[in-house]
Every structure is written in C-alpha cells, then in structure tokens.
Chains A and B, each alone.
Chain A
Amino acid sequence: MKIINSMINIHVQSVSLRTVLCLFILSLPSVALSAEEQTPVTPDKIEKQGLPTDKASFSDTLEDKESGVNIKSFNYPLMDFMPNPEPIVLRKANDQHALYFPVSNRIDVTYAELRLKFTNSISLLQDRSQLRIKLNEITVAQLPLRADQPQVDVVIELPAELITSGFNNLTIWVAQHYTLECEDPAAPELWTEIDTFNSELTLTGQLQPIDVMLSQLDQVMGPAIGNPQSYRILMPEQYNEDHIATGALIAESIGLRHFYRSPLFMSATAKKAPFTTETDAVMMNEFSGLDQETLSGSDNVLFGTRDELKPYLSSEILNEIKDAYLGIFPLPSDPRYFVMIVSGTTKEELKRAATALNFTNFPYADAKTSLIKATDIPANSRFGRKRFIKTDRLYTLEELGVETSTVQGAGFHEYELVFDLPADFYAAEDATVNLLLDFSYGARMRDDSILNIRLNDAFERVIALTDPEGAVFKGYDIKIPLRAFNPGRNRIRFEPSLIPSVGGECIAINDRNLQFTLYGTSIIKFPFATSYAGLPDLNLFSRTVFPYRRNGQPEPVTVSVLSNDYDTISATWTLMAKFAQVADGPLMDAEFRFSLPEDDRELIIVSPFNTLDEKIMSSAPIQLDGSSNYAYPVAQQIDGEKVEKGFFVQFPDLFGGNKEEPEAVPFKAHIEQNANPQAHGVAMAFKSPFGQDRSVTLFTAETGQKLHRYMEAIVQPTLWSKLSGDVALWTADPKSISTQMIGKKFYVGNAGLRDKTRFQISQNPWWWIIGVFVLIFLLAWITRVLLHRRFLNRHGRNVRIED
C-alpha cells in the first residue's frame, strides 16, 4: 500500500514491490496523454493508448508480443460502477456501500489496487472509528478514521487472487463514533464521504489468448474489465452506403452488449496480406489473405458479402458462407484478440447476419461459426433490457422487476423500480401516477420508522410506519403528478427506514422485529398521456434518442455521413453504438447516405464542417463558417423561465411594451469571429429543412479526425448526460461542455388538436384570455343584433327594454 497524501499510520495487510513498479509504469501514459493534448491525435495514437474513455483508462503497460510479456493495466474511477455519478456518503454509527465491478475472463489479474480518496467528519473518535474494505466479502484493509486527519488519499493493494471473472463485490464499511460512552448512533456528525471521481480501481494483468465460441460473445464483448473497449470494423476495400449501414448495425450490437460503457470504433478497409514468405507461412489460417499487421491491440469485426471477403478469407471459411454468416476466431497474429466475421452471400444475408448480432440475449451456437437462416423482427421490436411502459396502463411491480421481498434489520433499505416512459409524453397537469402499494411491516418499531418514496432521487412521499402492532396494507394509494416524471428513464426508490424502539449502548436491541415487505403485487397505474414534445432538445435526445424513436415506434431516419473518410465513419459508428444503448435497440431501418436526404425523414448528420452545405446550415442555430455573428457560450448559461411579473405589468409585453427591460436571464454573448470553433466538437439540433416537423441532429467538428475524437468524448456518460439545449460545444475534457438554447422551438407529436391547444395555451395564457374576451364581445354583439331584430318584430317600438 502506498500513501500518497496522508500522514496516517496504516495497518498494512500486504505490501508488494510490484506495486511500486506498476505505479511507475502507470505514470507513463499520463505523461504521454498530456503531450498528446498539444498535438492533433491520429487514429494510430489513439489505438496505442487504448483510447482513454473519460477518466477510465487501460493501457498496455508492458506489451511485447515477441518477448511474451503481456501486461495490461485497467484503471476506473469508482463512479463508473455506480448508477449515478455521485459521492458515497456513509452516515451514522455503522454504514456500508457495496460496489460491483465486472472482470472479464480474458484477463488474468496479477495486481489490483484501490486508490481511495475520502473525507471524514472531524468529530470522529479515532480509537473507535474505522473504515474497512471488503473484496468479495473478505476484509482486505482497515483504516482508522481520524478527526485530526479528515482528508485521506490512500492506495490499497487488493489481493488479486480474490478477484474472479464476472462481478466482484467491493464493499466500503465504516464504524463511526464520537464518544466512548453511550451515543446517538444517528448523530449528524457521523459521516464519511468517498470521492468516487478521484477514487480509482486499478487492475493489472495479462490478457489471455482466447479461443471463443459464438455462445460466449457476452463474455468477451462487454463492459467487463479486461475486455478491450475498442473495436476495429473492417469493410471491403470498395465500400458504399450499404456498408456504412451494416457497420452501424454491428456497432450498435456491440454497443448493446456494453450496456452503460460506450465502446469506441475505428473503421478501416480490410487490406490484403502482402505475399511474402512469412505470409505464406500463415496462409493456412482462416485469414490467409488479410493483412493482420495492424489488427492487434483491439478486437476486430470483418464484414462484407462472400464475394467481397474472398481476398481475405480462406477457402474453407468462404465455403461455409452459404447464408447469413457469423464467425468468431482468434486473431492469428495475436490470439489475445478476436476477429469476427459477419457475412452472407448477398447484401440481404449480410444485413441479416448483422441484425442477428443485435439479439444480445439470443443463445448463439456453441461453435465458432453459425448460419442465420432467418431473423423475424416485429416492427416495434425491443432488443434489450429496458422496461418501456405505456401510459394509460397499470403494471404490477413484479412485472417491472420488483419481486416480493423482505428487508430486515435496523437502518436503511432500498427497493428500486426502474422503467422507461415515452420520451414525448404530455399529460394534463392534474394527471397523476398512482402507486397502489401492498406492504407490511413489523411490530414495535420506533415511531420514526418510515418508508420514503423517491422519484429520480427527489423525495416525493413518506409513509410513517407507526403502528406498534405492525400492519399490512393493500393498495396504499400514493399519487405522484405525471409531470414529476422524466421522459425516458425513471427510478422510483422505496426506502424503508426501520428503527428499533430502544437504543443505547447498554441495552440489548432486538432487531428481528424490524421487517418490511414490499409485495410485487403492488400496482403502478399511469394516466392517459398524449404525445407532444418541444424540439429541438439535445437533452431529450441524449436520454431517449427522441425524435428518432417516437412513442416507442422507430421513425424513418436518415443518417447522412457527408464525408466518407474512415474517421467520419468511425465517429458515425461510435454514435450509433451509443444510440443503440440509449434506445435499447438498433436503428433497424435507418438509411445511411453520403449525401443529404430528399424525402421527409428524421435526419442525423455526422460530418466535418466543410462538408455541410448551405441549406443545412441556414436552418442551424449557429453558423460555423466564421463569417457570421453567432452566440458563443462564454459561460455555462441557464435558460431560466421568464420571470413572472405582476398581473398588469405583464400586459404591455403582449403589445411589445416594456422594451427597455433587460431579458430576465442574460443569455447570449454574441461574438464575431473569423475562425471556426476548431477546438470543439459541435452538436446541434434544429428543425429540418427537408420535411414537415422533422429534426436534424448534427455532430460535427473541423475535420474528420477531430470529429472522431470528439465523438469518442461525447458518448462518454459524463459528457453525454450534459447535452441539452440545441447547441453543445465540447472538448475532450470531460468537464468541458457548453450548451445553449438558441433556435426556436417547434413541437412534434401525435397529440390531438385539443392537447396541442392545451399545451400552447398553458405556455401563453394571455393570448387565450384575450381570445376569450374577443369572442365574448363578438358573440354579445351578434346576440344584441339578433335580439334587437326579434324585439322589433314582435313588440314594435312601443315596448321598452327593462332598465
């Protein structure tokens, strides 16, 4: 164990010289990285560095195929293993937090360490307060929590032998006390906060040669530590738009297998092997014609029709390609990586094979190759794991993955209900989601025992568990306004907090009565909601890929890749993989073009600046040619709601008054500049000039290379989750993204006229109010005329109206 920034005494469990060596080696790529930032990055460089993903990195620390030394190091911040990037706060006298990290069977972990950076309360009593690290339920380290040294940065070596392939459990446990006497175990000064951004887990080991079957795809392709996170997708030398589409399907399938972690892609054409003596020596392998020189260092996918792949593959394999074909083989030149072959005798078969890869849960053959005879995909098919729900339906919690289960013991517990709402739902303000909870709890709990209900981490409701005899509830009704829910992913947490009725140091505490059961028969009932949303909205896009999937239905989409260079294509595939992860399925029928579409379709453009034509840019919220005046994000802006004014003060606004007032929130800094924002990747969303109520989402950068680089950065969770507004500019720095809403909103959805009107009126009530008054005045006037006519007809002029 190495102490970096602390003077505390550590009870060392094991110290190894290897650690010092490895840390020294680890420091090398960071030097390389800082140097790299000053010069343009080439694909080769990225490849060699292992494509740093956000803060996570993996690198060939010592790799020499010839010498056989084959050590790789993988470094991840702890927040990568958490659903939400947030610090871990451990409270009260006794608390713990468990993290799970997956490890691939491709790596033989030889060394593991945890760099833990945390801050503890200055009220803690050193003799009794401690932090314990458990790896797979075995304690591997203990640290005292000291009041005089509250900030700790410590490196702990983890026993590599405890790390297994699959998920590993890393638990951080604390005992926190402020006195030797009787104390309040829930005292607010009992806390320790783990900095999950700067705390890191590092695994170092040797990549093993693999000999994998198709049935093992999930093991070798996924987010587990040890699996390469970058892929090289090889096209035939003569590639066209269809190849981009097929490559996208493959990228999407890989993206789906990587769950939350975004894989990176490099596109290239497969090269024929030079016919040398050495090459002749390997002529006998599956890839006899393929130049494997540049294929090492990442996994590879080679696709094309049989005819297109003829130059690269052995005749044996070619003979096997009689239909849609999937095959996986170790890379002959470096068996630590694999080459997957996706092929078919025709384009259709090729597409079928690529499509089949997207069925991530499908039990593939336990063989190296397989022919896909047919794929039958329903129009609105879902591929993965998300629980898409429909409004105007009710579901049991069981159906949404929360089975009946009991939690027991003192403290906090949690059930989590996760589901995905349509991206564009719009409901009346009073529409509520009803939770009809079935639950029971034990007797004689303290009367501050509660069940907190949180929606997307915001506290919503609490149920007091106060009946001393315990209670069973059936259909306990909780209403939450539908508008409190997010489009897309939502999390409802049920947090029973069970407190024993007695406490204190000198009293035996029975916690067997502290039980809580949430039944899977509980119901969540959604009200009717229609589909209507304001666009452009990059945030909505980043969370739900709206409007490319509307109301669960895929829309006609064109992906325009206006430059056919490898980098732009790589950027496109990287984006499509992210897209599949968010949408939980590939864009099955997307059309890929090297030009702009001519028909009414949703549009994604991935292209460098210079390929963007005037028609597109005239609709874009900002111009990129440098000659125009555009809003440049000098600082993070908040597009606040307009400040509400008084009843009468607001009136003149309608008629153009109150001009002298500044805008409620200073918003745009206009900068005239004669150069493009070279240092940025740019994402823009705007109304398409090609179709009615269609959108364009544009990802661009100065060059294809930069575009590829920035695309790799933006798909990482830290940046991707920050996309919002209609313009985003970012750099490779995970904290550097600026977003703005510059263009005008437009609204899409299949909401009826009533709902659309409701939406617009709710946004602009004054126009409605004026309209109502005008209508009443007009109606009164016509009524008056009609009444007067009738009056004269019947009564003549002698009779008078009542005064």
Chain B
Amino acid sequence: MSQSEATLSEKPEKKGATGLTIVWLFFVICLIVAASLVVDVSAQFWLAGSLIAFLVLARKKCEHGYLRLVYLGVISFLSIRYISWRTFDTLGWENPLDFIPMILLYLAELYAVVLGLLGIFVCIEPINRPETPISSDPEKLPTVDIFITTYNEPYEMIEVTLQAAKQVRYPQHVSIYLLDDGGTQDKLDSKDPEVAITARIRSMSMRKLCQRLKVNYLTRENNNDHKAGNINAALTRTSGDLVVILDSDHVPAVDFLEKTVGHFERDPKLFLVQTPHFFINPDPIEKNLEIFTRMPSENEVFYRMMQKGLDYWNGSLFAGSAAVLRRSCLDEINGFSTTSVTEDAETALDLHSKGFNSLYVSHPLISGLATESFSAFITQRLRWGTGMVQIMLLKNPLFHPGLTLSQRVCYLSNCLYWFFPFARVIFFVAPMMYLLFGLHIYNANTTEILAYTLPHYWASLQLSSFLFQRVRWPFVSLLYETLQSIFSLQGLIKTISNPRAPKFVVTPKGMHLDEDFVSPLATPFYYFFVLQILAFAFGVYRYINYPEEQTLVLLVGFWHVINLLLMLASFGVLAELRQRRAMPRIAASESAILKVHKSRIPCSVENLSTGGASIFTNNLINRMLIPGTNGILEIENKALNKISELIVEIKSVKREQDGRHLGLEFVSTNATQRAEVVGLVHGNSERWFRYWEHQPQKVGKLEGIILLVYWGLKHSKMHLKYLSNKIWQFIYKPFSTLILKPDTVKEFN
C-alpha cells in the first residue's frame, strides 16, 4: 500500500474517532452535570448506597476489560460528586477564623480528588511489553556506552557495579565508563584540605579500579550541574549510539541490553527504554517496621503500575538510572536538561516534547540499593519532590510546547503528586482544628457527612485498592507521605517561592547502621504527637460536654485516630534498626554442592550476597562443617552460563533437627572469582523477576488499620524507652549532683 493509500484509508477511521471523541466528551459533560446535581440527602444516600453496593459486589468481575472502565467510572463519579458538593454546598463560613483552615482543607481535598482522577487516567490501560529480541546481525546493532555515575559511593559498591557491567551480554561494541564526580579537578584542588585529600585518595582508587577492570574512567573540571552535568560532560567524550545510565548502586543483569536494545531497533523515534528500579534491600520504613518482603515495596506502585500506565500514553518517565537512551535524541536537546534537580524527568519531558517516544520494560534488569537510613530516605525524596515541583513551575507540562494532550496529563499527574505534603499536613491538622478549637472548617451536618464524605473516602480507598491491589497495602502510602510531609513541606514552600534555588543533593547510599537509634529527624513528630494527644483529650471532652455534637465528634475522632495511628507507626519508622550488612543478602533457592575436603555435600542456597551465602544442608554427620573450615561452593552460574566454583569459609553453623544452616563467606582470591560472585549474585535477572512477581499477602482496608495499630504499638515502644531515658536523665542529673556523691554520679554516667 502506498503512503497516499494509507492516508486515504485512515481518514474515515480518524473521522469516526473524532465523532466518537465528541460523543465521549458529551457523555463526560453529562456525567459531570449528573454528579453536580444537589439533591435531598435521602436521594444521595440511595445513590451512594447503590454505587458502593456496585463497587463491592462487582469488584471481582470488574478487574479486566470493559467492566474495569465501568468500575473506574463509578469511582470517578463518586469523587466528582463529592468535590462538587464540597465546592457548592459546604464552603459557607461564619467566622473569619474558620475561613482559612476551611479553604485549606477544601483545597487539600480538591487536590486529592484531582490526583485520584489523574491517577485513573494514567492507569487506565497499563501495558506489558513483550520481549523484543535484538537483531541477530551484530553489525546492525547500535553501539552502546554504559555510564556509571558516582560521587561518593563506597569502593566495593562501585566495583560490583563495574564488574556486572562488564558481564552484560551484547554482540556489538559496549564501552563502560565510570563517571566520577567525586574526583573532579575542583574537588582535588579544594581549599578544604580534608576534602582535597579525600578526593585525591578516592580518585586514585577509582582510577586503579577502572584500570584493573579495564573500563574507562571519566571525570571533569568541576561539578557544575551535578549528575546531569556529569553525564553531559561524558556525552561529549563518548560516541556510542545508545547510552545506558546506571547509578553506582544499580548493578545490571547480564541480559540488560538484550532486553532493551531491540526496542530501539524497532522504533527509530524511541529515545528511552526505562526498566524498573529493583531494590534488594529494605528501605528504612520496611526495615524499621520489619515488613521487608512481606509487603510490596513502596516503589512498586510506580514501577509495576504507573510506569506501565504511562507507557500506554507514550509518557514513560525517565527515572535517572537503569535506562537506555538514544544519543542522537539527547543531542537534539544538547544533552541532559539541567533546569531542575530531577534531571531525569526533565530530560524526558524535553524529549517527549520534541516528539520522541519512550517505553517501559516491566522486567527488573538491575538490582539496586534503597536508602538505608530515614534521613537518607528523606534527602532522596526531598530532591525528587523539589525537582518535580521545579518542573511544574518552570516547565509547566500543561503549557510546554510539543507534548500531546495525554502526555501533558501524565506529566501533570507526575508533578502534582509531589505537592502532597501540603495536603497531608492539612489532613493532619484539620481534625485537630475542630477538636481543639471547635473551628467549623467543614460546613456540613452529620447526615451529609455520612451521605457524601464517607462514600467518597471509601471509594478513594477502593480506588487505591483496585488499581494497586497487588503492589500496595492500604494506608501504606499514607504512612510514607506522613513521614515525608513534615520535612518536605518547608522545602516545597522554598521551592515555590524561588523555583531556581534548590541544589542537587546526592542521596547517601551504602551506609552501615551499627546500632539501633532514634532518627534525629524525630523531634517534629514529638510536637505533633503531643498536639494529637491534646486534641484527642479535647475530643473526649467535647463528646461528653456537647451532646449535640457527639456524632460529629465521633466522625472527626475516627479521622483523628487514623492520623494518630499513622503518627504511632511513624514513631516505629523513626526508631532506626541497625544494618550491619552493606551488601544485602538476596533470597535464593538454588541447589549447590559444598565441597569440604573430599566431601561433596549437597545443599540448597537460601540467600546470597557478594560477600557470602547462607546454605542449608541435611547433612548432620560431617564433622568438618564447623566455623573456620574452608571449602568450595559449586553452583550453577546461570548469568555466566557456567558452573562456578567459589572458595568459601564457613562462618557460622546453626543446627536444626533436619539439617544445618551454614553461613558462608566468599573468600575471593582473584578478580575472576569476584567477577563470578557478582555474576552469580546480580547477573541473573530472572531471579529478580521471579521475586518481583511473587505475590505478597493481600491486605484489606480493615487489616490495613489493624496493621497500623500493630506497627504503631510494637515499634514505637523503642521511642518510649528512648524518651523515658532522656526524661530520666533530665530529671536525675541535677538531682544526682545535689544528693549523690560525685563518685556515684561518675559511676552512673
């Protein structure tokens, strides 16, 4: 078919599509009108009851296809109806004191509803990409540069990543570059001698490492534009057709390029293939609440649902690492964008607006490290939030030229999400405004709250559960947002007042937490908690003394109690548990043979890390299986397609009835051995994929609340202990100096 024929044949379809779009718009308007009708509360009860009954009864039938859209339509209708009612019927105020908190609460709710609707749009058709094999003719394949960016990460971490990068399979030429921003000339020449010496030592070790591993070391004069500047500097000195961006803690699997490059061959306008950020260690919240592997990770919502949804709209977001980009496209915009501190999202926005495409491969191809401490977590999230708000303010996707409408909506959703600290803080404070001061910031009676508010909030929870049922437990987002909000709010306000001011802050990675401690960021939570307890007491007082407000107090009290539980659970998170192992162990279930002297002991590998492994053997007889014994672990290395024989030392033995658990340490004697260990531990993406697809237990709304209570009570105990110690010391110290003898005081201290 010639081009003209194709155009002709497409015309009627396009016409039909336009007509249908107009009909669609008409129905949308009808729906909004129907949702905005104000009726008697009894009619609203019937409506909300019917819709909720539908949502409950039809849930299972509506998970796929057409009915899925109906389901989302019902939830959208309830949300639009609620916000319409809030807008037109509940904003009356009598007291100026009520006005500001009332409007703030309304805006927070409006924000939440808009975000929910945008979320529905984004996730309306999440797609799974099929594997696209690379060309069998190596000559036709594009050349690839792998950029591993580093600033101050530990040597061991970088070594592992470089080793793994070297093992990436690709028939065409691959160049690996370590882009070291920790060894720039400015750093080496720093006026601060300590900084200069540290930089020089680090730079030297990095150069030696690269030399040893035969990869390229690149650095630059200064640290301008941080990570984006680092990559841009490298782009000018390299020439590969495609560029792989990896953070230094993102260890690629051997099939990273095999699973991504094929897409570039198919679509010449493709600028980005993004893969998931798959973390093998718990983030501080998972770690401190001891829910790692039992609960889906927080980022799974983004990588297992949102990115797939964004992909449908050609809006896959560049996440800064674990992605492949086309150099020619980057050249069109003169390399990475540098306006914001989230260079990744901004670069994607600029490339999308140039008409290039992006896609998302929903298969973990790297194994990375999540932040270890709460403060590192907050630092990272602050940067993300700041960057997205900068994009919203400086390159507003609604008006940025070149984007399609759907891309605008996707970017709007991505950016707007990061305004959540405003809403979250308001939702926290709003019930206290009523309980403490009696401010009427929600101008509705109890019946109306039951008829409009409860169905809406129930539907919002249902939406989250419906869209993200496999990747998020109820209330977990609230917990994450709560923890971030208190700190993010200030940064957010600063960014809004001066969008160009924020500076790039590197997220600390590879930290060791040697002992349990309370996060230094906990103090504001104490103030909030005291206020919440006060508000709770006032609520009880109000309940007893204002009989006419009892139902309202109960409703607001319920809301407040949820906030209180979130705060308690936050205390659990802030009680940081130690983390001694820098290289986290990864669960495995592979057969192996442990050779100790002349014995070949069959065993199964329970977990692995680049430092060692844990195995289980049912051999209860062998007397050599004791700590200090050396041996060889013979195991199939699927990534390298060989049987690896790794020298190990038995470090621990734990006897069970049916066998023994042995803790092994890899005793790496040479580079080949270390490379094999890296290949064994990080090279096999199928292991990540299996792990990813593993379905943690689903949790309902009620269970979510119960878990909040459980986490709050269990993990905030440490806080109490910590606080009571502090208080005791505060009281005891002056007392002891007066009463006790000096030597007793000394002894006590």
Contact = CB atoms under 8 A, between A and B. Distances in A.
Interface of A: 428-430, 477, 647, 754, 757-758, 761-762, 765-766, 768-769, 771-773, 775-787, 789, 791, 794-795, 798-803
Given A477-B94, A784-B69, A775 B128 contact: no
Those 3 A-B pairs whose CB atoms lie nearest each other, nearest first: A765-B43, A802-B126, A780-B69
B94 to A, nearest CB: 7
Contact of B39 (A758, A795, A801): A758
B73 A780 contact: yes
B128 A802 contact: yes
B38 A758 contact: yes
B40 to A, nearest CB: 4
B250 interface: no
B64 interface: yes
B50 A769 contact: yes
Interface stretch (B17-25, B97-105, B500-508, B655-663): B17-25
Given A777-B70, A779-B31, A786-B17, A799 B129 contact: yes
A661 B39 CA distance: 29
Contacts of A758: 37-39
Given A776-B31, A785-B20, A762 B43 contact: yes
Contact of A428 (B38, B126, B305): B38
Contacts of A787: 69, 124-125
B31 A799 contact: no
Given A765-B47, A768-B43, A780-B70, A786 B28 contact: no
A784 B124 CA distance: 10
Contacts of A786: 17, 20-21, 24
Interface string B41-84: 11100110111011000000000111101101110010000000
A768 B24 CA distance: 20
Interface residues of B, number: 52
Contact of A647 (B42, B49, B64): B49
A1 to B, nearest CB: 53
B125 A762 contact: no
A771 B27 CA distance: 12
B40 A429 contact: yes
A765 B37 CA distance: 11
Nearest to B30: A775
> Interface SS of chain A: helix, strand, loop or mixed?
helix
> Interface SS of chain B: helix, strand, loop or mixed?
helix
A762 B47 CA distance: 11
Interface of B: 13, 17, 20-21, 23-24, 27-28, 30-31, 34-35, 37-43, 46-47, 49-51, 53-54, 64-67, 69-70, 72-74, 77, 89, 94, 124-130, 305, 308, 312, 314, 444-445, 448
A232 to B, nearest CB: 52
Given A768-B47, A803-B64, A791 B128 contact: no
Contact of A761 (B39, B89, B128, B312): B39
A781 B69 CA distance: 8
Contacts of B89: 428, 430
A799 B40 contact: no
A281 to B, nearest CB: 75
B735 to A, nearest CB: 46
Given A428-B89, A765-B39, A765-B42, A799 B128 contact: yes
B66 A784 contact: yes
A775 B66 CA distance: 14
Contact of B47 (A430, A772, A775): A772
Contact of B27 (A779, A794, A799): A779
B445 A430 contact: yes
Contacts of A778: 27
A776 B73 contact: yes
Contacts of B448: 430
A789 B19 CA distance: 13
A766 B46 CA distance: 8
Given A772-B77, A776-B73, A794-B314, A762 B46 contact: no
28 contacts: A428-B38, A430-B41, A647-B49, A758-B37, A762-B43, A765-B42, A765-B47, A768-B37, A768-B39, A772-B35, A773-B54, A775-B30, A776-B74, A779-B24, A779-B31, A780-B67, A780-B69, A781-B66, A783-B69, A783-B124, A787-B69, A789-B13, A789-B17, A794-B314, A800-B127, A801-B128, A802-B305, A802-B308
A801 B41 CA distance: 40
A771 B34 contact: yes
A793 B94 CA distance: 55
A769 B312 contact: no
Contact of A780 (B49, B66, B314): B66
Nearest to B48: A769
A635 to B, nearest CB: 30
A765 B46 contact: yes
Contacts of A789: 13, 17
Contacts of A802: 125-128, 305, 308
